[in-house]
Amino acid sequence: MVLEPDICVIGAGSGGLTVAAAAAAFGVPVVLIERGRMGGDCLNYGCVPSKALIAAGKRAEAFRTAIRFGITSAEPDIDFAAVNAHVRGVIETIAPNDSVERFEGLGVKVVQADARFVDARTVEAGGEAIRARRFVIAAGSSPLVPAIEGLDQVPFLTNETLFELTEAPKHLVVVGGGPIGLEMAAAHRRLGSEVTVLAAGEALARDDRELADVVLKRLRAEGVRIETGARVVRVGGEAGALKVHAERGKETLLVEGSHLLIAVGRKPNVDGLGLEAASIDHDKASIKVGRDLRTSNRRAYAIGDIAGGPQFTHVANYHAGLVIRAILFRLPVRTRHETMPRVTYTDPELGQVGRTEAEAREAGLDVSAITWPYAENDRAQAERATEGLVKLVVGRRGKLIGAGVVGAGAGEITNLLSLAVAKGMSLSDLQGFVSPYPTLSEIGKRAATAYYSPYAKKPLVRRAIGFLRRFG
C-alpha cells in the first residue's frame, strides 16, 4: 500500500506530535510514524518523570527543614516503590493526550514501526510506503554512552532506565555534571541515597559561574559529593558493588557505588533512517538544516534534538510551530536560538536566557551586569527562600542582552525575562511594568530599577529637578 499524505512526520515526541496535531486541525492529511512509545523521551524518560521525582524529593526535604517555620522537623520515611508509583502515575495521567487513539481521533494516520527513507520522497514503515509532499523528521535523540573502559561489562543506568528503579540506590554515582546529572543527583540525595557526581570539567559549565555556584553550594550542603575536573577512565565491579576510576590531573579517584548513572549528553537518532537514500546531509551530531529548518532535501525538514542546537522540549515545540507556518502557509521562517531560555530544575532552580555576562564579553560587547538578591524580596523572606539572585546583562542604552536567575521559582521568573530578551526590551521596560505584590518576579523589576539608581546622583539630573521645583 502506498500512502500519499501532505505531511509525513517521523517521531511522536513533543515536536512531532505538535506538527501532526496542528496540521490535522487544518484538515491536512498527515501520517505519523513512531517506533517506540507515543510522547517520546519527554513524557516517558525525560522531563515528566524527572520533574515528578524532583517533586517527591522536594517534599521529603520539606520535612527536614520545617523547623524554619516553627514546625518540628523530622526525617521522612521514604517508600521508594511508592515514589516510583507516583512517577509512573504522572506519566499515565498525561499519556492519553499523546496516545494513538487521540491522534487517530484527530484524523492522523499513525504507523507504529521503524521509518526508513527509500528515496528522496518515499519512506517505508510497517510494510507501507509513504510518499508525502513534505516530511518532518522529529526522531529525537538518545542517551550518549561514552567509550569508557569496562562500561560494557557492568550494569549502568541512563535516563531511559533510571525511572524503572523501585528501590533507592544505596550510593548513586553520576557521570556527568550537566543539568540532567545534577537534577537526578539532587533528587536521589533527598530521597535517601548517597550520591557522588563526577564531572569531566566544571559542573553546570554552560551557565553563569556566579549563578551556578549557588546551586553547587546548596547541593554540597545537602550531602551531594561533586568532583569537578574528574575524567572517568575505567569502571569495574558488579551489580551493587561498582568501582568507578577517574583521573584529575595526576590525581586518581576511586568511587565505589551501588548504581551508576551515565548522564554525559545525548546523540541524535539518525541511524536506520536511510538519510543517504533521501539525500539528506547529516553527521553524528545532527541532521544539517538551515535557519528555516529545511534539510538538503527540499521536501524534508528536521526539528528538535535531531536538528542540532539546544536540546529542550520547548525548542522542539518552537521548531514545530515554525515548520507548520512554512509548510501550510508558505511563510518564511528563521530560527532564533540565541534567545532560547533554559532552566535546570535543581533546588534552587537555575534559569538563563540570552547571553551570559562571560559570553557577551567574549563576543566583544560592551555590557554591564546588574544583580539583585532574593534576600531583598519580601515574598522570599516570607517563604524562607532567600538564597539566590537575579542577574541582568545590559548593553548600550539599557538594552537587555541576557538574564539569569538562581533561586526559588527561577523557572517561572525566567518566563518574564525570556519575553524581555526575545523582544529586545530595555531595562526601562522591566522597570515600568507593574508586578503584583508580593511576588518573586519583583526581583527582576528591582534589578532593573537598580540600573537607573545612579542617575539620581548625577549633577545634571539634580539641577533639572531643582529648576522644575521653582514652578511649584
* Binding-site annotation: residue ranges for NAD(+): 176-183, 265, 305
C-alpha cell at 374: 532574593
The Cα-based distances of 140 to 22, 66, 89, 360 in angstroms read: 19, 41, 24, 30
- C-alpha–C-alpha distance, residues 332 and 155, integer Å: 48
Of the candidates 97, 92, 100, which has an alpha carbon nearest to the alpha carbon of residue 32? Answer: 100
User: Annotated binding site, which residues?
Assistant: 51, 176-183, 265, 305
Rounded to whole angstroms, the Cα distance separating 166 from 180 reads 20
Q: Give residues with Cβ within 8 angstroms of 469, minimum separation 6.
A: none
Alpha carbon distance 233, 246 (integer Å): 5
Q: How far apart are CA 289 and CA 370, in angstroms?
A: 37
Closest CA to 19 of 270, 323, 332: 323
Strand partners, 227: 198
Strand, coil or helix: what is 280? coil
Work out the burial of residue 94: count CB atoms within 10 Å of its CB; fewer than 13 is exposed, 13-18 middle, 19 or more buried: middle
d(CA 224, CA 167): 19
What is the side-by-side order of every strand in the sheet holding 300-302?
109-111, 30-33, 7-10, 134-137, 300-302
DSSP conformation letters of 46-87: SHHHHHHHHHHHHHHHHHHTGGGGTS--------HHHHHHHH
Q: Is 128 helix (H, G, I), strand (E, B) or coil?
A: strand
Longest dimension (CA), the chain: 88
Binding residues for FAD: 51
